[in-house]
Amino acid sequence: MNKDTILEKHLEFKKTSVHSKPKLKDIENALRKFLNISRKPFSQFSEDEIVKFINGSNVAIRTMNDYKSYIKVLIKWHFPDWSSRFRNLDRICKQQKPQRSHEPEEMISYEDIEKIIKAENNLMWKNYFLVLFYGGFRISEACRLLWSQVFFEPKGVIIKIHTSKTNKDFYKALPPEAEQLLKELKKNSDSEFLFPSPFNKGESIHRHSVWDRLKPLSLKAIGRHIPPQIFRHSIATLLYGDDKLKDDIVANQMGHTKDMRETYKNLNAEKIKDQARALWIKTKSMTPTEREELKKMIEAQGQRLKEFEENSISKKDVEKMILNALQKTAQRLK
């Protein structure tokens, strides 16, 4: 078989597990480059061609990790004797840990996103940047969103996505202010896409148009140029840095596994120091006298609750009074 036929058949094989057309296109482009690294027929390829391709590709570590993965699958799929013929395949295609893509100083805040939305006049683009930020979406992922993935529910809007990388569904929530603008966009939409292309009917906006739109907008709104991928890294940093939120909840919102936490978390030095100090912050132990005083207070409040219920006073008012009493007692015991 010639290389084109091999690639065509391999892509058919990949379709059994990869259902995203853009992802399949990425695989096709990467493997086509690899197959054309040499004029040799693919049947004569050795480890030398793999090494030559990897060493000669000037791409980011994440992209190279994808290349290695695609090549490894291709080799194992095509060569029955791959384990003896490509003895160092696993070592050559070993995944590298990406370095941190962005510095803490590059992150944007909740205040920054408000300024960007305020400076944007177009309703569609307002929604795009809100969804990109609060949904923690990847750029192209947000571009291709369909209305069929959006659910306006009584408890709040939910956007459902499926990632082929983990073969898992994720449910992303948006804050009320973003939901209201999204509902307004829905009323005026006649496309299956949330963000349809103004130039090509039946298509969504392209990631390059996001870059073109954001560059002058961010300069106008916050005084500096920012790339759109900063949105995802920033919201991840804010959410993972919130000690009240569990990592698995944040991971669902980001649409990745908890293992990716450190990749997207860009805390500054002061935040990291605060987290380190928190290890040794201990609450003050209560003395026997203080414990007895608190016990009596709780019993007294319980009796008051019973009396209030008998007099038909609302339970919410009683709970508020008890909470205030507990807070005052806690302040006294500090």
Q: Which residues pair with 168 in a beta bridge?
A: 163
Please give the span between the terminal C-alpha atoms of the chain, in angstroms, as a whole number: 79
Q: Please indicate whether residue 156 or residue 105 has the higher confidence score (pLDDT).
A: 156
Q: Which two tokens stand for residue 310?
A: 């008998």
Q: Is the pLDDT of residue 315 over 60?
A: no
The arithmetic mean of pLDDT across residues 77-105, rounded, is: 87
How far CA 268 is from CA of 104, 201, 225, 231, 273, in Å, comes to 5, 44, 20, 17, 9
Q: What is the pLDDT of residue 321?
A: 61
Is the model's pTM score more than 0.85? no
Q: Please indicate whether residue 317 or residue 228 has the higher confidence score (pLDDT).
A: 228
Q: Please indicate whether residue 223 or residue 304 has the higher confidence score (pLDDT).
A: 223
Least confident of 216-220, 241-245, 311-315, 325-329: 311-315
Q: Please indicate whether residue 75 or residue 235 has the higher confidence score (pLDDT).
A: 75
Q: Is the pLDDT of residue 6 over 60?
A: yes
Whole-number Å distance between alpha carbons of 18 and 66: 14
Residues 210, 159: contact at Cβ < 8 Å? no
The arithmetic mean of pLDDT across residues 273-297, rounded, is: 67
Q: What is the pLDDT of residue 279?
A: 46
Q: Is the pLDDT of residue 266 over 60?
A: no
The arithmetic mean of pLDDT across residues 4-30, rounded, is: 92
Q: List CB contacts of 80: < 8 A, sequence separation 6 or more.
A: none
The arithmetic mean of pLDDT across residues 103-110, rounded, is: 85
Q: Which two tokens stand for residue 266?
A: 């860009």
Q: What three-state secondary structure class fits 142?
A: helix
The arithmetic mean of pLDDT across residues 266-289, rounded, is: 59
The arithmetic mean of pLDDT across residues 11-15, rounded, is: 95
Q: What is the pLDDT of residue 65?
A: 92
Q: What is the pLDDT of residue 218?
A: 96
